[in-house]
Amino acid sequence: MNRQWIALSVTLFALGVTAQPLLAQETSKAAVELRIEEQQRRINAAAEKRAVVDVAAEAAAFEATANSFRYQNSKDPSPLFTNPGDAQGILLPANAVYGQSQTGTFGQATAEWLSLGKSPFPGGVTSPYGLRLNWDSALGVFNLVDKGIAGQKDLVIGFGGSTGDILKFNFFPTVTSSTATTVASIFPTGVIRNISGVRSGSETGTTQPPSVGGGYNGLISRRINDTSLTIGSVVARTNTLTLERDGTFGGLRINNPTGAGLQNVACTGVTAGGAVVGRAFIPPFGVSTVFSDAQGVVSVNCTFGDAFFLNNITQVFLQRYPGDFYWAGSVSSTFNQ
């Protein structure tokens, strides 16, 4: 300890500093260390400031370059991708469109890419703003389009590239699901298809709202046809009754396979000779004739189901050519079919 004190005293004397007690020397040492740390912090802060300035300068220089793209600089504070040399990455264009190029050349119709901003839009539409997805000459867009009227923009949801393309609305049961249910589809011809009923109107203009067994999921309205002479071929149905072919050209029947009670059937028909015939009954268990082939009915309007408990009701319109066995028409029902 004495040797160390003597050596320290000699050093301090050579520097022109008078030796002090050991406690004073330790205090001076701590102060020096603090000053060194403060100086290092200033150096680091200055370096960081220079780095930010460099990045900003590079970005400004890039934005000034017209019609060019580059990958995000790897020196940016928060890189958007980890491998700037990869063919997949973030593209920053001078026209403020953000894009991602997967395969091929960004912007080409046959390539795989997406763009966000003033996205390329087909059909000569001007000033679209939104999202475009492109893959193998197929596209999808979600854009606001200027109508040329101050303050008015149209939201355009578009798809296409081929007449076989379909716009699908899918339901995924969980966020990790690999499969989904297509609940609705829109076809290029304008046809809209969904897998369940449609609720239309305000449902408030009547004294009571619509109800089916305490709930309401809308109406099914669609084309029906039957070209079979098979006995029991189902033409239309509710949850308890089925309207069926009886195996003849013109015969129709109702089947109540479970013997459900409080059901009723009411049908009218027009024969080939213009006569109007009717049939109304409460269907028992099993099958009941609605119209026989011998009656020669060529047009049928038939309603059946459970009105007593406000449950499912189905209404059917059917027509056939006299002497033929092809029936065609439409069905409107609260029961999905």
pLDDT at 315: 98
Per-residue model confidence as pLDDT tens digits over 175-220: 999 999 999 999 999 999 999 999 999 999 999 999 998 889 999 9
Task: Note the helical H segments in the chain.
Answer: 2-14, 22-63
Residue 94 vs residue 241, higher pLDDT: 241
Q: What is the mean pLDDT of residues 66-82?
A: 44
pTM tops 0.75, yes or no: no
CA–CA distances in Å: residue 52 to residues 47, 56, 77, 217: 9, 6, 8, 58
Model pLDDT, residue 47: 62
Whole-number Cα distances in Å, 281 to 174, 175, 304, 335: 48, 51, 10, 21
- 169, β-bridge pairs: 184
> How many angstroms separate the CA atoms of 40 and 154, rounded?
57
Inform me whether the pLDDT recorded for 100 exceeds 90. no
Q: What percent of the chain has pLDDT over 70?
A: 72
Q: How many CA atoms lie within 13 A of 124 on its CB side?
A: 0
Average pLDDT on 221-245 reads 98
Torsion angle in degrees (nearest 10) through CA of 107, 130, 172, 80 = 70
Which pLDDT tens digit goes with each residue over 313-332? 999 999 999 999 999 999 99
Mean pLDDT of 271-284: 98
Q: What is the tens place of the pLDDT at every residue in 128-161?
A: 788 889 999 899 989 888 888 998 999 989 999 9
Answer whether residue 255 shows pLDDT above 80. Answer: yes
Lowest mean pLDDT among 60-69, 113-122, 209-218: 60-69
pLDDT of residue 48: 60
Beta bridge partners of 237: 242
Q: Which strand (E) or helix (H) includes residue 71?
A: strand 69-71
Long-range CB contacts (< 8 A, 24+ apart) of 72-77?
75/51, 77/52
Neighbouring residues of 242: CB distance < 8 A, sequence distance ≥ 6: 234, 235, 236, 254, 255, 257
Q: How many angstroms separate the most distant Cα atoms in the chain?
A: 136
Between the CA of residue 122 and those of 69, 137, 160, 247, what are the distances in Å?
Answer: 22, 12, 10, 55
Confidence (pLDDT) at 126: 60
State whether residue 299 is helix, strand or coil. strand
β partners of residue 116: 98, 131
The per-residue pLDDT of the chain, averaged, comes to 81
Residue 41, both tokens: 């912090």
**Span of 51-55, 105-109, 235-239, 247-251 with lowest mean pLDDT:** 51-55
